[in-house]
A and B are shown apart, each in its own frame.
Chain A
Amino acid sequence: MTAASQTPAAPARSAPKRWPTSLVLGIALLAPLLVVAVAGPWLAPYPYDEMNIMSRLQPPGPDFWFGTDEYGRDVFSRTLVGTTNSLVMGVAATAISLLVGVPLGLVAGYGRGRTDEIIMRCMDVLMSFPPILLGILVLAVTPPALWKAVVAIGIVYVPQVVRLTRAITLELMQEEFITAARLRGESTAYILFHEILPNIWPPLAVESSLRVVFAILLGAALSFIGMGAQPPSSDWGLMISEARPFVEQAPWIALCPGLAMGITVIGINLLGDGLRAVLDPRNTGGH
């Protein structure tokens, strides 16, 4: 008898009574950010692009909580408004990766054989470029703009999503409930969308939360080298880039968006770790 050796790794467990600390912390960090992302322009004490030459490069003080930049714009307001940019960039880019990657991964994993081969080889070619290089390459084709950066980042991370989706699909294909579905004579579409897809979400959700982080960081890097968000918009990467010549005189211009970014990324990471703990008890550590 093989009772003990065959214990299945159940993908789902009942919701635990206690949430993991990381999840709680992550939500605690992200909730205010989300509020800011939605209500940033209303919360900001000044319009993010209002220049005031008389008060340029002001240190933090009662008028300007985080000081002003070289145009006399309020750094706090810009940082607040930048939240929307960053989060939207991260989430939208990830959404694009998922939108493109998940179907491809499903088809590759389910179809196997030739289809799989073709899709995966295309992904290999995409993956043979380092991510930022791919981003630059995609962006170099058109004049820079934020939405293009979002699309580029989305494309950059498609292969990872495809790989993950495919791997999970392949794994699920071995599962007996898929066999059971085939045995019933279910159509491919039904199996893909009703049997496999629901089981892909949990690991994908964990992965996506990390992807959002990567997307935010890559987006910031692209903006930093001038290929993402364009002035005068208030993107964090762009703000840090613009602040470079002034770091000595006015370090707050760079520190403020840097801190905001740190909080966001840590928050999402914690959320991801927490999600992993909740959704995917098999995994232990965070990577």
Chain B
Amino acid sequence: MLLYTLTRLAYLAMVLVVMSILVFLVTQAMPGDVASMIAGQFASKEVIDAITVKLGLDQPLIVQYGRWAAGILQGDLGRSLVLEQPVAPILMEALSRSLVLAVVALAVVTVIGIGAGVLAAVRRGRMADQMVSGVSYLGIAVPDFFWAIVLVLIFGSYLKWLPTGGYAPLADGFVPWASHLVLPVVTLVLMLIARIARLTRSSMIDVLQTNYVKYARAKGLPEKVVIVRHALRNALLPTITVLAIDFGLILGGVVVIETVFSFPGMGRLLLFAIQRHDLPLIQATILIISTAYCLANLAADLLYAFVNPKIRHGMGNA
């Protein structure tokens, strides 16, 4: 297990290096340039050149990459050109907000999504199943931003129950903090629950057809025990993986939802950086998002391995 983890980590590092190069190249290929962005409308060529030199943007790509990568290895994510601040604190702040979103959303999804999926699988073909399918179809059928708009309309504009945008730090008090989270979380969760419920349902149905579940029934165990102890445990394996990946996705910023709810998380930061052509900010943001995403993927694999005794006890010599 330890060996497996180490190998996976080394592998992750490799992917990240390649990815960082890719990110660097892609950002370089973006049209427009930061110097003219900073200089603004109708800046003369000399001004732009002066800014270019000042930012070191005139140097060869390799040098720029080298400097950037070296900085990152030393924990320096660079300085935002537009915000003229170190990127790291800005990123950390956005990441912490995304983290809040991710944790809350995931908790809700886990409870409701898995519950609904199990219910649907157990009552397969019956009312409850149809209802879960129906509702989950709604969740996946319509894009999240559409739900976002509908929710804003209902809860923000008509009922006026909830704030429809922005973020309140916990320092402002629990209620403002929580109330600002409700709509983004609900929107996010609508789609995720649908996916998780469907996934849980199908893997649960698969597991319910296995021999060991049949055998558990043959032992005369009550259906509840059969489902919880024998079926659910195994059916959750794929679900856990997907949950972990979803966590990584939310952590990396759900661009659209953050946009609609003016939620200052990673997604909006990235969009902002791209719109302003703030290369260091783009690069660092993508790097962090992808790292978070990869780590979540890794966590998913490890969790999978850990929950699965076959892998847990077979890893050492494999």
Within the complex, are A and B direct neighbours (CB within 8 Å)? Answer: yes
- A residues within 8 Å of B by Cβ? 121, 124-125, 128-130, 132-133, 136-138, 140-143, 213, 217, 220-221, 224-225, 237, 240-241, 243-244, 247-248, 251, 254-255, 258, 261-263, 265-266, 269, 283-287
Interface contact B205-A128, CB-CB below 8 Å: no
Residues of B within 8 A of A255 (CB): 150
Q: A128-B15, A285-B206 are in contact. Are A244 and B31 (CB under 8 A)?
A: no
A261 B198 Cβ-Cβ under 8 A: no
Query: Contact between A141 and B203 (Cβ–Cβ < 8 Å)?
Result: no
**Pairwise interchain contact A283-B202, C-beta atoms closer than 8 A:** yes
- Whether the Cβ atoms of A261 and B18 lie closer than 8 Å is no
Closest 7 CB pairs of A and B: A285-B202, A265-B141, A258-B146, A262-B141, A262-B142, A266-B141, A284-B205
Bound form: Cα–Cα A124–B254 in Å: 21
A224 pairs with B143, CB closer than 8 A: yes
With A240-B145, A285-B201 as known contacts, state yes or no: A266 contacts B137, CB within 8 Å.
Answer: yes
A133 CA to B98 CA, complexed, in Å: 15
A136 to B289 alpha-carbon distance, docked (Å):
13
Contact among A125, A240, A286 for B202, CB-based, below 8 A:
A286
Least CB separation from B121: chain A residue: A285
What residue of chain B has the Cβ atom nearest to residue A265's Cβ?
B141
B85 at interface (Cβ–Cβ under 8 A)?
no
CA distance A286 to B290 in the complex (A): 28
* A-side contacts of B140, CB under 8 Å: 213, 265, 269
> What's the minimum C-beta distance from B297 to chain A, rounded to whole angstroms?
8
Chain B residue at minimal CB-CB distance from A138: B26
Query: Complex Cα distance A224/B144, Å?
Result: 11
Q: Is the CB of A247 within 8 A of B152?
A: yes
Interface residue range, chain B = 35 or more
Provide the bound-state CA to CA distance between A224 and B271, in Å: 12
How far, in angstroms, from A286 to B137 measured CA to CA in the complex?
11
* A to B CB contacts below 8 Å, 13 in the list: A130-B253, A130-B290, A136-B255, A137-B26, A141-B26, A141-B30, A221-B144, A243-B149, A247-B152, A261-B143, A262-B142, A265-B140, A285-B204
B residues sitting closer than 8 Å to A (CB atoms) are: 15-16, 18-19, 22-23, 26-27, 29-31, 121, 137-138, 140-146, 149-150, 152-153, 157, 195, 198-199, 201-206, 209, 248-249, 252-256, 259-260, 270-271, 274, 282, 286, 289-290, 293-294, 297
Asked if A130 contacts B202 (CB within 8 A), the reply is no
Known: A128-B290, A133-B252. A269 touches B157 (CB 8 A): no
Q: In the complex where A221-B145, A225-B256, A285-B206 touch, is A251 in contact with B274 (Cβ < 8 A)?
A: no
Chain B residues with Cβ below 8 Å from A263 are 141
What's the least CB distance linking B243 to chain A, in Å? Answer: 13
Q: Which residues of B contact A258 (CB under 8 A)?
A: 142-143, 146, 149-150
Q: Is the CB of B289 within 8 A of A125?
A: no
Q: Is the CB of A269 within 8 A of B141?
A: yes
Once bound together, how far apart are the Cα atoms of A265 and B209, in whole Å? Answer: 29
A125–B198 Cα distance when bound, in Å, is 28
Is the beta-carbon distance between B138 and A262 smaller than 8 angstroms? yes
Asked if A265 and B142 make an inter-chain contact with CB atoms under 8 angstroms apart, the answer reads yes
- Pair B146/A240 contact, Cβ less than 8 Å: yes
Given contacts A128-B293, A240-B145, contact A247 B252 (CB under 8 A): no
| B14 (CB) vs chain A CBs: closest residue | A121
B305–chain A nearest beta-carbon distance, Å: 18
Q: Is the CB of A140 within 8 A of B274?
A: yes
B142 to chain A: closest residue by CB: A262
Closest Cβ–Cβ distance, residue A197 to chain B (whole Å): 27
From known contacts A132-B256, A261-B143, infer whether A285 and B205 are also in contact, taking CB-CB under 8 Å.
yes
CB distance from B112 to the nearest CB of A (A): 17
Most buried by B among A128, A213, A244, A261: A128
Q: A140-B26, A262-B142, A266-B141 are in contact. List 14 more A-B contacts (CB 8 A).
A: A130-B249, A130-B252, A132-B256, A136-B270, A137-B26, A140-B27, A221-B144, A243-B149, A244-B260, A248-B157, A258-B142, A262-B138, A265-B142, A287-B199
